[in-house]
Amino acid sequence: MTDFTAEDAEKAFLEAYNMPTGMPKHEALERAARMSDALGHLPLGVSCRIALIDSAYYLSRYDLMLAPFAWARAAEEKDPEAFNDYEIHSLNWSHKWIATGLRRDPRFSLEQLEAVIGQLADRYGRLGFSVQPVHGARAELAYHVGDLTGLAEHLGKYLATESGPMADCDACVVEEQVWMLARLGRHQEAAAHGWEGLSGNTNCSTQPQGILTALLWPLLEIGDAERAAHAHTTAYRLIKDDEITSYVHEHIRFCALTGNIARGEDILRRSLHKVTAAQLPADEMSFAECASVLLQRIPADTVFEVPSVGTLTAAALLDRLSARAVELAKAFDARNGTTAWLDRVTKALEQAGYPHVELAVPSAPVAVPADEPVVFGDPVEIAEAMVTLYEQGDFVRARRMLDSLPADMDSLLPPDLAAHAGIRRMTTGLVPFDPAVFEELLTQLPRDHALRYQARMAIGLEGGLELAERCLAEAESDFTRSVAALTLAELLDDAHAHERASEMLALASSLDVPELRGRVLVEAAEHRARQQDLEGAYAGVVAAMAGELPPSARFEGFRLRLRLETVQGRVAEAMATAREFVSAFPLPEAAEARWYQVAAIQELDQEAACLSDLREAVAISRVHLSPGHTAHFCFALSGGYVQTDRFVEAAEVLEESLRLLQDGQEDLRLQVVFRLGQVCRKLGELPAAERYLREASELLPPEEVARRAFLLDALASVQGRMNKHDEATASWRAAAALWQQEGNVSEAIGSLVELASNLPDDDIVETRAAVDEAEALLPALDDPTEVTRRQAEIVAIRAWVHGQAGEFALAMKHYRDAEALVVSLGDEGWWVFVVLRAAHVLLNADDPEGAEAEARRAASLLPDDSQVGNVLSVLSEALQRQKKASGTDPLVRELTARLD
């Protein structure tokens, strides 16, 4: 007697079945299985064992499959009727997994493994299944024991054999074939085959990350670094939260061998539970080997916190894992009677790296001219040279002198030279600007030099105009008078006192200080630009730059010329000037030029065309600019990725921008989280998309009505896809209200149309209400074309509502009305869509003959292949409903060929 009932056992099974993947679920299923056995409840016992096999698969614990599989085989012989169709299919399917599990565990003999593959061949042959999986299993076994001739033979059969109901999905088959081709050294073929395989659609939970991971090595071997980077970035984003998958091992090794050590270390830290976690021996060996390849390249004293172990240095962890990889390789070789695995592990641990692969977020500086060396000599002479070079406008060489004067040497300098050095460190950004320290340093300088610095710093200060005027009045030299006059010209232009600004420029020109002639010419062009004489300003700066200019004036000339070309929309000239600008100066000066280059790229919407420039800007800014600069450059780079549909890369670089943002960059943070929310929506990462869009909503100033409405539309679409229909409804309605407040009636209608289109099928009342509200706004639209477009959307939704209500005649009338409107707009793709919707109504109305006619008409209207699959689906169903053969129908065959 048992103290539980069949109902108790069934409840225990259902509760276990619905638990998330993990050992607690597996153990709960085992308890339910024991309960079913105690009760003699064979059908429930079968269900438990099939669930246990699946559970073991998702745990990557093939060893745990063996007992339930053996039990199920015995039960099948005893009473086949105890299995439903799904369970029979699962048992047939899982037979492939047993061969995999035995191969990846050296505790089982080769004889056992070969026997299981033989049983698999017998079972599939007896049941009439394709033997493609058998060839795959034999190819894997051949590689496992180091028989490359056998691998090539069985791979040929694997490639040549048609798939069947027991074959893995098409994408998984491609993945296996890529691995096998790469193992044979057929890297070009592997890369081509795998990349083509990515174009197919799959609902498999292990794809496309499986194919992308298999592609890493053939792509690196043929030198296709760009696609290898894409494969890594895309695949790792899909698996980064999966604590079980062994794909991650390959990505650790990829980072180690492509110069992405910091990223590899981060991935390894997220995977340290694998050091002690129960895994199949093959997976444990794979992790130990790949982690060791990385650890060899990490400083030996780097510290890791290893679960269940404690603190280990990189050196200690390397010793532990490399020894374990060798130990397991020897165990496999002892089982197999070969040295294949020890040879492979030894080769992996000795492998040299590939050329550096740049990932989505550049980390290593690009190749740049070497910095000029630090100057050695008498500190006083160096300081004097620094002051002279700055005055001459040679800020490049002056900066080298400044870099050669550490602050702790200032005490060795005369007070005036120490003051010059201290002030220049602040004005160049080497140390934060401190007004109090600045004023104190001025007291150590001759009066005229102090006035010169004050005049330069007057721009941007409250009361700067009065300060500059005082500096001009009290100046003792023509040099200081010219500096003050140039500052005043800029300040007066900003105050729209252009005539007085002209007088100041005339004064500076008349003083004719040789060191400042170039700056006067550039400032004169800037003066014209500030008066909106853009052509005159451009001619002036081009003329100035045609002559000899000191580096500081040339820098300002490039800045002005680039700005003028950007404002005037002269895209080609602006991009050429930007590249010339950043190459005209050594680092760190070139890094500052990158700021102006990136700004021009963004303003001219050239991110996609300038991806390499933006990547260089990010890499250089990591070394020579602030984290805030790098955050801005990362945001700009994300625009290039978005414009080229590289959304995974965009997400990666936006997340890096978010990490680097500094206090005071709230405007940039808003832009980053808003774009990141939209990118995550594109990637189907809906919880993240909702989180980022909500944060953007909180950051957005209330006065930005249109932007908030746009954001709410995006948020609503995410909430709708997450089945948060009440929240989505509220967001779309709020967006519609804001669009109306902004005076954009068309967008308000669009929000309501999206609401109506995304409501649950059974929420007809709310759908009709949204459509009614949208239709009520139509009279407020002025553009006839826009009226027609929105009216077509509304009528099509009304047709769908009638169809849902079983009012098929009204549905068809509205679809005909919508079709007429769409035809008048000349939108061929929309026309096909509407005709297909009408065909669906006829199918629901039990009129397959009419549906067939509509589907054939839709096929005749197809402007391209984007809707071929939809047309084929409707046509095939209509034919099937009439019991007509679809395989021989000429149009079905034509559409099928177009799909292929």
* pLDDT tens-digit map of 679-688: 999 999 999 9
What is the sign of the dihedral through the CA atoms of 134, 140, 145 and 150? positive
Q: What is the pLDDT of residues 443-459, one digit of tens each?
A: 999 999 999 889 998 88
Which residues lie below 8 Å from residue 862, measured CB to CB, with a gap of 6+?
Answer: 832, 868, 871
Label each residue of 306-324 as H, E or C: ECCCEEEEHHHHHHHHHHH
Helices (H), 684-778: 686-699, 705-721, 725-742, 745-758, 764-776
Helices (H), 428-570: 435-442, 447-457, 464-474, 478-494, 498-511, 517-530, 534-546, 551-567
Question: What are φ and ψ of residue 50, in 5° steps?
Answer: -65, -40
766 vs 452, 525, 726, CA distance in Å? Answer: 71, 62, 11
Q: Give the H/E segment covering residue 304.
A: strand 303-306
What contacts 24+ positions apart, CB below 8 Å, involve 225-232?
Answer: 225/258, 225/354, 225/355, 225/357, 225/358, 227/191, 227/195, 228/254, 228/258, 228/357, 229/357, 229/358, 229/359, 229/360, 230/646, 230/648, 230/649, 232/357, 232/359
Confidence at residue 225, expressed as pLDDT on a 0 to 100 scale: 94
Among 177-191, 194-208, 716-730, name the one with the lowest average pLDDT: 194-208
Confidence at residue 626, expressed as pLDDT on a 0 to 100 scale: 86
Compute the distance between CA of residue 277 and CA of residue 294 in angstroms, rounded to an integer. 20
Question: What residues pair up with 303 in beta bridges, in sequence order?
Answer: 313
Compute the distance between CA of residue 221 and CA of residue 188 in angstroms, rounded to an integer. 8
Question: What are φ and ψ of residue 845, in 5° steps?
Answer: -85, 10
Confidence of residue 497 (pLDDT cuts 50, 70, 90): very high
Q: Which amino acid is located at 881 in the chain?
A: R
Q: Give the H/E segment covering residue 593.
A: helix 589-603
Are the C-beta atoms of residues 771 and 798 closer than 8 Å to each other?
Answer: yes
Q: What is the pLDDT of residues 574-602, one digit of tens each?
A: 999 999 999 999 888 888 899 999 999 99
- pLDDT at 865 > cutoff 80: yes
Q: Which amino acid is located at 709 in the chain?
A: A
Are the C-beta atoms of residues 253 and 290 closer than 8 Å to each other?
Answer: yes
Q: Give the H/E segment covering residue 305.
A: strand 303-306
Compute the distance between CA of residue 887 and CA of residue 898 in angstroms, rounded to an integer. 15
3-class secondary-structure state, position 26:
helix
- What would the mean pLDDT of 489-503 be, rounded to a whole number? 93
More confident residue, 457 or 329: 329
Confidence at residue 900, expressed as pLDDT on a 0 to 100 scale: 66
Are the C-beta atoms of residues 518 and 550 closer than 8 Å to each other?
Answer: yes
Compute the distance between CA of residue 9 and CA of residue 13 in angstroms, rounded to an integer. 6
Angle between helices 415-427 and 435-442 (to 10 degrees): 150
Among 2-6, 326-330, 801-805, name the one with the lowest average pLDDT: 2-6
Compute the distance between CA of residue 167 and CA of residue 170 in angstroms, rounded to an integer. 8
Confidence at residue 370, expressed as pLDDT on a 0 to 100 scale: 46
Confidence at residue 374, expressed as pLDDT on a 0 to 100 scale: 58
Which residue's entry shows tokens 């950043």? 582
- pLDDT at 561 > cutoff 70: yes
527 vs 233, 490, 542, 562, 707, CA distance in Å? Answer: 48, 7, 14, 16, 35
Go through 77-95 and write b for each residue having 16 or more CB atoms within 10 A of its CB, e for each that does not.
eeeeebbeeebbebbbbbb
Q: What is the pLDDT of residues 599-633, one digit of tens each?
A: 999 999 999 999 999 999 999 998 888 899 999 99
Q: State the CB neighbour count (10 A cutoff) for residue 306.
A: 17
Confidence of residue 368 (pLDDT cuts 50, 70, 90): very low
Question: What residues pair up with 313 in beta bridges, in sequence order?
Answer: 303
What contacts 24+ positions apart, CB below 8 Å, involve 415-422?
Answer: 415/444, 416/444, 416/445, 416/446, 416/449, 417/380, 417/383, 417/384, 417/387, 418/383, 418/444, 419/444, 419/445, 420/383, 420/386, 420/387, 420/445, 420/449, 421/383, 421/386
Which residue's entry shows tokens 């290593």? 364
Average pLDDT score over the chain: 91
Which residue's entry shows tokens 């007509």? 884
The pair of three-digit structure tokens given for residue 508, joined into one six-digit string: 């500076």
Confidence at residue 362, expressed as pLDDT on a 0 to 100 scale: 84
- What would the mean pLDDT of 423-452 be, rounded to a whole number? 89
The pTM score is 0.79
3-class secondary-structure state, position 303:
strand
Helices (H), 604-704: 611-624, 627-643, 647-660, 666-683, 686-699
Confidence of residue 366 (pLDDT cuts 50, 70, 90): very low
Compute the distance between CA of residue 523 and CA of residue 689 in angstroms, rounded to an integer. 47
Are the C-beta atoms of residues 434 and 426 closer than 8 Å to each other?
Answer: yes
Label each residue of 359-421 as H, E or C: CCCCCCCCCCCCCCCCCCCCHHHHHHHHHHHHHCCCHHHHHHHHHCCCHHHHHHCCHHHHHHH
Compute the distance between CA of residue 726 and CA of residue 764 in angstroms, rounded to an integer. 14
Compute the distance between CA of residue 497 and CA of residue 876 in angstroms, rounded to an integer. 77
Rg (CA), the chain: 36
Confidence of residue 390 (pLDDT cuts 50, 70, 90): confident
Compute the distance between CA of residue 15 and CA of residue 6 in angstroms, rounded to an integer. 14
Which residues lie below 8 Å from residue 405, measured CB to CB, with a gap of 6+?
Answer: 379, 382, 383, 386, 413, 421
What is the sign of the dihedral through the CA atoms of 814, 815, 817 and 822? positive
Confidence at residue 375, expressed as pLDDT on a 0 to 100 scale: 64
Question: What are φ and ψ of residue 42, in 5° steps?
Answer: -60, -50
Are the C-beta atoms of residues 668 and 649 closer than 8 Å to each other?
Answer: no
Q: What is the pLDDT of residues 120-135, one digit of tens each?
A: 999 999 989 999 999 9
Compute the distance between CA of residue 468 and CA of residue 454 in angstroms, rounded to an integer. 8
Which residue's entry shows tokens 């638990």? 19
The pair of three-digit structure tokens given for residue 620, joined into one six-digit string: 């250089």
Task: Kindly report whether the peptide bond that precedes residue 208 is cis, defined as omega within 30 degrees of 0.
Answer: yes
Are the C-beta atoms of residues 29 and 13 closer than 8 Å to each other?
Answer: yes
Compute the distance between CA of residue 66 and CA of residue 752 in angstroms, rounded to an integer. 56
Quote the percentage of the chain above a pLDDT of 90: 72
Compute the distance between CA of residue 89 and CA of residue 83 in angstroms, rounded to an integer. 9
Which residues lie below 8 Å from residue 443, measured CB to CB, with a gap of 6+?
Answer: 450
Query: Taking Cα atoms as reference points, which of 769, 752, 847 lies closest to residue 808?
Result: 847
Confidence of residue 373 (pLDDT cuts 50, 70, 90): low
- pLDDT at 2 > cutoff 80: no
β-strands 310-313, 303-306 pairing: antiparallel
**Torsional class of 461: left (φ above 0), alpha (ψ -120 to 50), beta (otherwise):** beta
Label each residue of 205-238 as H, E or C: CCCCHHHHHHHHHHHHHCCCHHHHHHHHHHHHHH
Confidence of residue 282 (pLDDT cuts 50, 70, 90): very high
- The end-to-end CA distance of the chain, in Å, is 61
Confidence at residue 364, expressed as pLDDT on a 0 to 100 scale: 54
Are the C-beta atoms of residues 441 and 433 closer than 8 Å to each other?
Answer: no
Confidence at residue 114, expressed as pLDDT on a 0 to 100 scale: 93
